[in-house]
Structure 1
Amino acid sequence: MSARQRRRRWLMALAALVAGGAGLTALFTGVLDRAENASVDARFEVRGAQKPSKDVVVVAVDDRTLLGLKSSWPLPRADQARFVDELRRYDPKLIAYDVQLTEASKDPEADEALYEAVSRARPVVLATTSVLPGGKTTIFGGDEVVRDAGAFPGNGFFPVASGGVIRRLPFSTLGLDSFAVVAARAAREGLKPERDAFRDGGAWIDFAGGNRTVPRYEWLDVLRGRVPRDALKDKIVVVGVTADTEQDIHPTSARGNDFMPGAELQANAIATVLGDVPLRGVPRWLEVALVLALALLAPLAMLRLRVTRTLALSLAALALYLVLTQLAFDSGEILPVAAPVLGLVVGAAGASTVEYVTEVRERRRLRGVFARFVPGPVVDAVVAQADEESGLAGVELEATVLFSDLRGFTTFAEHQSAATVIEVLNAYLSEMSDALLEAGGTIVAYMGDGIMAVFGAPVPDETHADRALAAARDMTGARLERFNAWLRERGLTEDGFRMGVGLNSGSVMSGTVGSAQRMEYTTVGDTTNVAARLEGMTKAIGTSILLSETTHDLLSDAGELRDVGEVEVRGRAAPMRVWSN
């Protein structure tokens, strides 16, 4: 494994660690509770309305009731007493009276009448939100009086979550069990709600639907005997105010935070307890496992896949997980959403960032490698083709290979200082490199004063032969003259130098070779070998440029070239026909 691969893996591990840490932090600190609650609301919305409990109904003091009684809330205790007596005749299983009775009215006789009516209607659960230390209440003057009446006190309080929305039901508050818990327990003998279901802020209320999903009847109709007896018989009847003037309405998880009157809210809570709290969170260890699984997905996938596929996989995992959470919700399990999704997003962003940084770094490295010998317009195409691990993959291309040599330079260098030799060599190579690059060639290597270049690789070009000949003519013509003039100005030579250039066209193997620490571009094959041989023959033939028949046949205009005839080329069995400039 290369150092770059190791570094990339360490960075991916860091991205996974950050993603997992972000998800677990959100999970354990509750920093994303608002988003988590919103996800639960969305799951209620997707699930839609359910069939309400057949055991619970609501009798409402609505605006029509107040108008019919020509009264306002709170109704006189005497009217309430008559109502309780009338409701008792329907033979309900339990009356859950969601009306505050903690203070005496101005009519003691009416208070006594209501107390007696409650005693006759037993069992009755009475709601209050005024609780004394130790869970005691002042309903009817005190808990002993309530017990004597065969009634039970219950705390009508609901915790309000983010956005003022009511979503959960506590088992007890301030030492007094919740109104819904007490009502469910009183209505069903032997029912013992599990306290564990109420952990972490309370039990999730399993809302059957939005407002008016629970069957509702009017107080006035019950008082006047206009409700069918079967509608209330053997039912838990929740009695409360729904009149708009009283504004006892609350946003809930049901149907887009639909506002729901307190009585129906209590009815849903009672049905939840009767149903053994059907909506429950999963164990903490499973929540942690889900967070880590999604957080690690992208960093692990990025070790094998490209960015686009990893992001596509992450999006698919997100969609699949959201579907899973909805299916689990429909089955009664609430899987976390906010923390796992945060882990997934941070993991995908972190892995993409790592990949981008390492990719950019690698692209810059490859650009640095190729920019030395590839024309500027070709660099981007070359880098785009390059593989991030092994550089430019080996391919077979039709190209023209050029070899050049500066004749007499070795002898010249023997009589010069090292600084002068390097200065002269750099001036020569700069001049010739410009000629090659301007013609569209790729410089493969510098070999002292020799240059190897290729045209038509690594990016294919059908005009490679024409470009190679143009570069050779420029090198041996104007470029060489300018270089020799520069030497004469410095008094380094009188005669100047001559050059030899060999060109050959054919199939070459093109690609990068080397290690992760050092990589170079090259072309190999018989075409390359012949070009080198032709360059070496230029001096003996007495020409500056020598090109093979294969190069000649590819030229668009070969009119100015001289046919040298067939020559013996070292390393080849048959003679080769060549041309000179």
Structure 2
Amino acid sequence: MRGQVSELEDRLSAWVKDALASTWDRRNGQKVPEPADLTLKNEAVDLDAVVLYADLADSTDLVTSRSALFAAEVFKTYLFCAAQIIRSMGGVITAYDGDRIMAVFIGDSKNSNAAIAAYRIEWAVEKIIQPAIQAQYPKNTYVLKQKVGIASSPVTAVRTGVRNANDIVWVGNAANIAAKLAALKSGYSTYITEAVFKMLNDKAKKKNDGMSAIWTDLGGVQTFGRVYGTTYWRSP
């Protein structure tokens, strides 16, 4: 046993020293990379990105107060609808984490596309998933709530893990802030940073009738700076 521990220690020490000493191969990306696009060595891709996190609210209560299979149905339907909508708006799904999904948007319309994806996710919850739950389980009082957080920043994509068990880690403020926005307890379904808000086009900032602005300026929230929130939903 001692020999196995010593062998593992030697292997880990050698890998860490090599990783820290190796020169980074860093490049600007034109698309969101897949794990296969990067090596497990020091290779990184830089992107100017918008990150979206969609998070099922109160999932702990759902799991503890309902049957496991009912909770699984809620998880599956929410994540499926969110994923399909994200892809329809040009987003690339980068991770599933329990009851939430992370996506990256790039390109000239990345801010607006992410915001419209958030509207459509809320639409799917209100007009597709919740009615279907009520129809299937008429005595069930569960009401699905969710939140989407959106933030922008330069991000660096790095592949990490071991052979046959690895993924991309996204290093940058956008991923961290988007996840925290999606966890806010205020009564909005979508939150965006001021930087994202300033880059929204008219289609993303106004209702379909083109008259009323839909975003509420929430002021400074925690350490995120100025944040905007909305309960707005929009059908495709």
TM-score, length-scaled by structure 2: 0.71
Structure 2 letter corresponding to 1:423 = E
Kindly report which structure 2 residues correspond to 1:334-413, keeping only aligned pairs within 5 A, or say none.
382=33, 386-387=37-38, 389-390=39-40, 393-413=43-63
Kindly report which structure 2 residues correspond to 1:195-234, keeping only aligned pairs within 5 A, or say none.
none
Give how far 1:392 is off: 10
SS of equivalent residue, structure 2 residue 183? helix
Query: Matches of 1:451 and 1:402 in 2, distance apart?
Result: 8
Deviations 1:303-355 (A, max 9, x none): xxxxxxxxxxxxxxxxxxxxxxxxxxxxxxxxxxxxxxxxxxxxxxxxxxxxx
Deviations 1:519-557 (A, max 9, x none): 2133222222111222222x32x2111110110112122
Q: How many residues align?
A: 191
Identity percentage of aligned residues: 26
Structure 2 letter corresponding to 1:446 = Y
Give how far 1:383 is off: 6.0
Please say if 1:483 is aligned against 2:132: no
Instruction: Give 2:181's aligned residue.
Output: 534
Instruction: Give 1:549's aligned residue.
Output: 194
Structure 1 letter corresponding to 2:108 = E
Deviations 1:267-304 (A, max 9, x none): xxxxxxxxxxxxxxxxxxxxxxxxxxxxxxxxxxxxxx
Give how far 1:449 is off: 1.4
- Whether the 8 Å CA contact 1:567–1:578 is kept in 2: the answer is yes
Kindly report which structure 2 residues correspond to 1:121-140, keeping only aligned pairs within 5 A, or say none.
none
- Whether the 8 Å CA contact 2:79–2:99 is kept in 1: the answer is yes
Query: Matches of 1:427 and 1:580 in 2, distance apart?
Result: 24
Which 4+ residue blocks in structure 1 deviate beyond 6 angstroms?
A: none
Query: Matches of 1:385 and 1:493 in 2, distance apart?
Result: 44
Of the candidates 146, 155, 168, which is equivalent to residue 521 of structure 1?
A: 168
Instruction: Give 1:240's aligned residue.
Output: none
Q: 1:530/1:446 Cα in 2 relative to 1: closer, same or farther (>3 Å)? A: same
- Whether the 8 Å CA contact 2:160–2:167 is kept in 1: the answer is yes
Higher RCO (CA 8 Å, separation ≥ 6 residues): 2
Structure 2 letter corresponding to 1:527 = A
Query: Matches of 1:553 and 1:516 in 2, distance apart?
Result: 42
Instruction: Give 1:567's aligned residue.
Output: 220
Instruction: Give 2:147's aligned residue.
Output: 500
Instruction: Give 1:424's aligned residue.
Output: 74
- Whether the 8 Å CA contact 1:435–1:479 is kept in 2: the answer is no
SS of equivalent residue, structure 1 residue 394? strand
- Whether the 8 Å CA contact 1:444–1:523 is kept in 2: the answer is no
Q: 1:568/1:578 Cα in 2 relative to 1: closer, same or farther (>3 Å)? A: closer
Give how far 1:401 is off: 1.0
Q: 1:385/1:450 Cα in 2 relative to 1: closer, same or farther (>3 Å)? A: closer
Please say if 1:576 is aligned against 2:220: no
Query: Matches of 1:441 and 1:468 in 2, distance apart?
Result: 7
Kindly report which structure 2 residues correspond to 1:121-270, keeping only aligned pairs within 5 A, or say none.
none
Give how far 1:430 is off: 0.9
Query: Matches of 1:530 and 1:415 in 2, distance apart?
Result: 30
Deviations 1:239-280 (A, max 9, x none): xxxxxxxxxxxxxxxxxxxxxxxxxxxxxxxxxxxxxxxxxx
Query: Matches of 2:33 and 2:217 in 1, distance apart?
Result: 37
CA RMSD in angstroms, aligned pairs only: 2.6
- Whether the 8 Å CA contact 1:386–1:393 is kept in 2: the answer is no
Instruction: Give 1:512's aligned residue.
Output: 159
Query: Matches of 1:403 and 1:382 in 2, distance apart?
Result: 18
Give how far 1:384 is off: 11
SS of equivalent residue, structure 1 residue 468? helix
Q: 1:554/1:489 Cα in 2 relative to 1: closer, same or farther (>3 Å)? A: same
- Whether the 8 Å CA contact 1:399–1:507 is kept in 2: the answer is yes
Please say if 1:463 is aligned against 2:109: yes
Q: Structure 1: which 5+ residue stretches go unaligned? A: 1-377
